């Protein structure tokens, strides 16, 4: 399950990993010199937001901040225990601020984003109870330390990071189209700068037998890079699909953030030990995600953002661009996986 060596971009990886602005340093400098406080001094009352992967880290910080601005926030979490703890924590924090928000505008939904049927069931029930969605934050992503499968026999990382990612946007599209200012914010890892999309690797995740045959070479890190390149490409796809309805769909890299997912990733142990003290905290990682969801007058769509600015999707001379046909094949993988849920 490791990516083909021909898809790894050494130049892209070097330009990414040698960039110190992904640390706390970038936040401190840009906040002081470029960011406008008034961009987030807004009310989101009357807005409905969905945040996936909201039980910890960046997702939890995004849910807390959007709720603190007045939005009704629906947290999508896989674990009942961790989800309940996150909900209690967010409600407690909001109530303690004494700003008229007691946390009752935050709700928890148990949804495993690696299981297409669970997403479909959630979407069906949500549509019965709500008329619109204003903000969809597609944050959930995993980097497994070992090969695992969902109930349909799909490799779990692909099912979560790509199929569930796409399926959540697709299933919420009718409600997003009813909003006057809908925003889809797709959280991605800039580790995608180190990869060109390799469709055989992506497609293999639908074939349990093929995955099992390469169990010993399984690399969650290699797949993570591939999957997040796919997420950026799918953001372009959905930006085009939803443009006529005025839905804005952008991707965003939060920087290097000290999250439980990073701390527990076997393939990232060396990186975590080396850079740990300079990693961003949850709120610093959540900043541009919240900014894209809430900043008044946002007009951009189909863009890739980092620290409140649109950036290039490929590093110079990295060779990571893919032909249009690859996006079409990627969409077919999502359709095949979604139909199998």
Spatial contact of 144 and 157, defined as CB atoms under 8 Å apart: yes
Quick check: is 224 catalytic?
A: yes
**Half-sphere exposure of residue 79, counting CA atoms within 13 Å on the CB side?**
10
**Cα-based angle 202, 206, 210 (whole degrees, multiple of 5):** 90
Burial class (CB in 10 A: 0-12, 13-18, 19+), 81: exposed
Burial class (CB in 10 A: 0-12, 13-18, 19+), 222: buried
Among 16, 218, 224, 304, the active-site one is 224
Q: Which of 229, 107, 230, 118 is nearest to 168 (CA)?
A: 118
* Torsion region of 242: left, alpha or beta (phi above 0 gives left; psi -120 to 50 gives alpha): alpha
Helix (H, G, I), strand (E, B) or coil at 97: helix
Q: Where are the beta strands (DSSP E) in the chain?
A: 48-52, 72-77, 106-110, 135-138, 183-187, 248-253, 304-306, 309-311
Distances (CA, A) of 266 to 78, 219, 270: 21, 10, 9
For 322, the token pair is 């893919």
Q: Which amino acids are annotated catalytic?
A: 224
């Amino acid at each position: 399950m490791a990516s083909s060596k021909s898809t790894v971009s050494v130049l892209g990886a070097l330009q990414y990993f040698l960039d110190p602005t992904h640390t706390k340093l970038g936040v401190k400098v840009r906040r002081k010199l470029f960011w406008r406080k008034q961009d987030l001094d807004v009310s989101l009352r009357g807005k409905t937001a969905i945040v996936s992967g909201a039980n910890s880290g960046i997702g939890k910080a995004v849910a807390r901040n959007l709720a603190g601005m007045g939005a009704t926030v629906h947290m999508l979490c896989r674990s009942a225990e961790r989800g309940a703890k996150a909900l209690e924590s967010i409600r407690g924090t909001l109530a303690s601020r004494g700003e008229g928000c007691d946390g009752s505008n935050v709700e928890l939904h148990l949804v495993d984003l690696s299981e297409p049927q669970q997403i479909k069931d959630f979407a069906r029930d949500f549509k019965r109870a709500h008329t619109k969605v204003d903000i969809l934050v597609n944050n959930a992503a995993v980097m497994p330390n070992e090969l695992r499968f969902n109930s349909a026999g799909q490799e779990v990382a692909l099912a979560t990071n790509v199929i569930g990612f796409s399926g959540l946007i697709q299933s919420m599209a009718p409600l997003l189209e009813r909003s006057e200012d809908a925003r889809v914010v797709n959280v991605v890892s800039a580790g995608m700068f180190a990869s060109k999309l390799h469709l055989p690797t992506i497609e293999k995740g639908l074939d349990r037998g093929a995955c099992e045959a390469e169990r010993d070479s399984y690399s969650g890190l290699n797949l993570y890079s591939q999957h997040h390149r796919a997420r950026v490409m799918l953001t372009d796809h959905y930006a085009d699909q939803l443009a006529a309805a005025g839905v804005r769909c952008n991707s965003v890299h939060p920087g290097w953030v000290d999250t439980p997912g990073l701390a527990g990733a076997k393939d990232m142990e060396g990186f975590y030990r080396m850079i740990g003290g300079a990693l961003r905290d949850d709120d610093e990682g959540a900043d541009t995600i919240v900014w894209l969801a809430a900043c008044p007058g946002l007009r951009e769509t189909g863009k890739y953002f980092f620290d409140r600015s649109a950036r290039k999707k490929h590093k110079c001379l990295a060779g990571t661009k893919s032909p249009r046909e690859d996006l079409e094949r990627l969409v077919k993988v999502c359709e095949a996986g979604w139909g199998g849920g």
